[in-house]
Amino acid sequence: MLTRHRLSALATTAALAASGGLLTATPAAAAVTCTSPVWKAEYFANTTLTGTPKLTVCDSAIAENYGLGDPPGVTLPKDNFSVRWSVTRDFGSGGPFTFAAEAQDGIRVTLDGVRRIDLWKNVSTTQKKTVNVTVPAGRHTVVVSYATWTGAANVKFGYAPVTSPTTDKVRPLAPAGAAVTYDRTLGRATLKWAANKEMDLAGYRVYRRLSTSATWTKVGSATSLVTAVSYADSPPPTGQTYLYELRAVDKAGNESPGGPDLTVVSVDRTPTAAPAGVTATDGATGVVLAWRPVTGAAKYTVHRQRTGTTDPVSQVATGVTATTWKDTAAAERTGYTYWVSAVDAAGNTSPRTAVSGTHGDYAPGAPKGLTVVDASDAVRKHTLRWTAPADTDVVSYNVYRNGSLLDSTSGTAHTDMQAVWHGTTYRYTVTAVDRAGHESPASAEAVITTEGDLIAPAAVTGVRATPREDGVLVEWDASTEPDLKRYEVYRAERYDDGDGGFVWLAHRVQYLSKDATSFLHPADADGETVMYGVLAVDRWENVLDVTDPSLNWAEVTELGTPPAE
């Protein structure tokens, strides 16, 4: 309570501001605005609180002892003056309050114009009164009127919420102006809100729940309240959506309804569970790993290390979307430890689950990429090439032609020089053989058809033979075959067959170019009867047999006398 003494008018404002009781003072003619919940005090030179105030000031509290009257800083009569204090403030949710007044002489208190305390009389000692008042929610005006008639002058008034749980059953209002921000780097949600207006506010509680749940969970301390108007929380970094709700709590323990829900999507740094049920099953083409699906997994990663070695653990598969994976690169007769982990959509990797497996001794994989080309030059031949399988114990390859074994080789190339014919289709496959003698499945088939055909040119026409002193001149019509390569001239002689008859035996006497149409065969002029034939040969070496009935032979008797028999 402030005790005021007479001061000069010039020093009044500074002295009262320093005391804390009187915050500002202005001449009566000036307008004064006091910020709630500071009281506006108006001094009158009468007991009826009428006319123009002699002084208007802002008071933080009503607790004055004027002694024998005439407050300092203002010219008032020693007796018979009055003061009116007024304040309009937000009481939040309202509730039960106590109004306590004491004064010498008179005091009246109203709430929104309704009189709550009335001790308006001249007394020789201080009179007191306390009343319980239920203040509705929201903004209300309290006015305290004081008058002193004679003698000592003092006044005091205060109002305070009732905080007894048995009396105060009014819940605070929900916090207003709430907002939330989320720092993805720190994984932290920061909530801010406006302060509640309740005078009996004890603090706030912050609640959180998953968007998929209807149950709110209190965050922070289970017992202490948040007394600031901000709160930082780190929701689990699961990538899920969380909702926050703020509630105010008064000193009687009443909790407000929840404010508007605030939404935060947390950063996802939480991996899934480790894969379960991991198995390793050996097979001819590799070790097959399998596991049960993991909830939330987008893919799986596999690591491997040779059993009993200090080899580094290496990643052998990533981005596996199925729940099975085959290690086709596993070496035969080798044991491995495998680790399988799950990776979620945010890239978080789960703990790894280990399993052991051994790849046995099996036939190697089939060779890949078999090709065949015609490599003929002077000799007809085919060249085959292929890619070795991944197996490291392959020692040789078997080459098959048209389903039959053609040859074996240690390399990945082979030349087929065994009777390759023109115009013929050949089908090749290759298998791999490991050191244990296991033969792989056949490779994909490579097919080739050699150029040309197997049809001999037609018989040469117009074959004529003319005997001459220097031999026999053979002539013929030019062949019209488009793929003609050369001519071959044959001479047939007659021999006794031993049965009273004879046979013609032919032998080749000359090769000629495809441009020739005659040939002089030097022969003795011995009067022998012989035959000449001309055979056309194409570029594929097709030619009619000399016994072919379609051949045209020219019979001729050489000049001279045949020898005696």
> SS3 sequence, 297-334?
EEEEEEEEEECCCCCCCEEEEEEECCCEEEECCCCCCE
Contact 149, 105 (CB under 8 A): yes
Q: Judge whether 2-161 and 179-265 match in fold.
A: no
The answer on pLDDT for 254 being more than 90 is yes
Residue 304 φ/ψ, nearest 5 degrees:
-150, 150
Contact 472, 559 (CB under 8 A): no
pLDDT score, position 368: 95
The answer on pLDDT for 29 being more than 60 is no
- The listed CATH number (2.40.50.140, 1.25.10.10, 2.60.40.10, 2.40.30.110) that belongs to domain 279-359: 2.60.40.10
In this prediction, residue 378 has a pLDDT band, given cuts at 50, 70 and 90, of low
The answer on pLDDT for 535 being more than 50 is yes
pLDDT tens by residue, 423-446: 789 999 999 999 889 899 999 999
CA distance 487 to 516: 8
Task: Calculate what percentage of the chain has a pLDDT beyond 70.
Answer: 94
What is the per-residue burial (b if ≥16 Cβ within 10 Å, else e) of 159-168? bebbbeeeeb
Residue listed under structure tokens 């009867």 = 529
> Where exactly are the structural domains of the chain?
2-161, 179-265, 279-359, 368-449, 464-557
Token representation of residue 205: 């509680």
pLDDT score, position 69: 78
Q: What is the pTM of this model?
A: 0.58
CA distance 6 to 76: 11
The answer on pLDDT for 26 being more than 60 is no
The answer on pLDDT for 13 being more than 60 is no
pLDDT score, position 497: 78
Edge-first strand order for the sheet with 413-416 is 368-374, 382-387, 413-416
In this prediction, residue 564 has a pLDDT band, given cuts at 50, 70 and 90, of low
Query: What is the second-level CATH architecture of the domain 368-449?
Result: Sandwich (2.60)
The distance of Cα 418 from the centroid of its chain, to the nearest Å, equals 59
| Largest distance between two CA atoms of the chain | 195
Q: Which of 10 and 248 is assigned the larger pLDDT?
A: 248
pLDDT score, position 18: 32
The answer on pLDDT for 27 being more than 60 is no
The answer on pLDDT for 524 being more than 90 is no
In this prediction, residue 30 has a pLDDT band, given cuts at 50, 70 and 90, of low
Residues 246-257, mean pLDDT to the nearest whole number: 96
Domain 2-161 CATH class label: mainly beta
pLDDT score, position 269: 93
Range with the lowest mean pLDDT among 24-28, 223-227, 459-463?
Answer: 24-28
Q: Which of 379 and 511 is assigned the larger pLDDT?
A: 511
Q: Smallest Cα–Cα separation from 343: which of 384, 383, 296? A: 296
pLDDT score, position 4: 37
Residues 71-88, mean pLDDT to the nearest whole number: 92
Contact 392, 381 (CB under 8 A): no
Range with the lowest mean pLDDT among 229-243, 248-262, 357-371, 496-510?
Answer: 496-510
Q: What is the C-alpha end-to-end distance of the chain, expressed in Å?
A: 176
pLDDT score, position 11: 32
State the DSSP string of 6-56. ---TTTHHHHHHHHSSEEEEEETTS-----TTSEEEEEESSSS--SS-SEE
Task: Return the number of other C-beta atoms located less than 10 Å from residue 406's C-beta.
Answer: 18
Q: Fold for domain 464-557? A: Immunoglobulin-like (2.60.40)
CA distance 277 to 281: 13
Residues 23-47, mean pLDDT to the nearest whole number: 79
Q: What's the whole-number average pLDDT of the chain?
A: 90
Residue 467 φ/ψ, nearest 5 degrees:
-75, 145
The answer on pLDDT for 175 being more than 80 is yes
Contact 304, 355 (CB under 8 A): no
Q: Smallest Cα–Cα separation from 277: which of 350, 340, 337, 357? A: 340
**What is the SS3 assignment for 57?**
strand
CA distances (Å), origin 133, targets 95, 109, 385: 8, 11, 105
Domain 179-265 CATH class label: mainly beta
pLDDT score, position 315: 96
Residues 8-30, mean pLDDT to the nearest whole number: 39
Residue listed under structure tokens 């006497």 = 509
Residue 17 φ/ψ, nearest 5 degrees:
-65, -40
pLDDT score, position 133: 97
pLDDT score, position 222: 75
Contact 391, 332 (CB under 8 A): yes
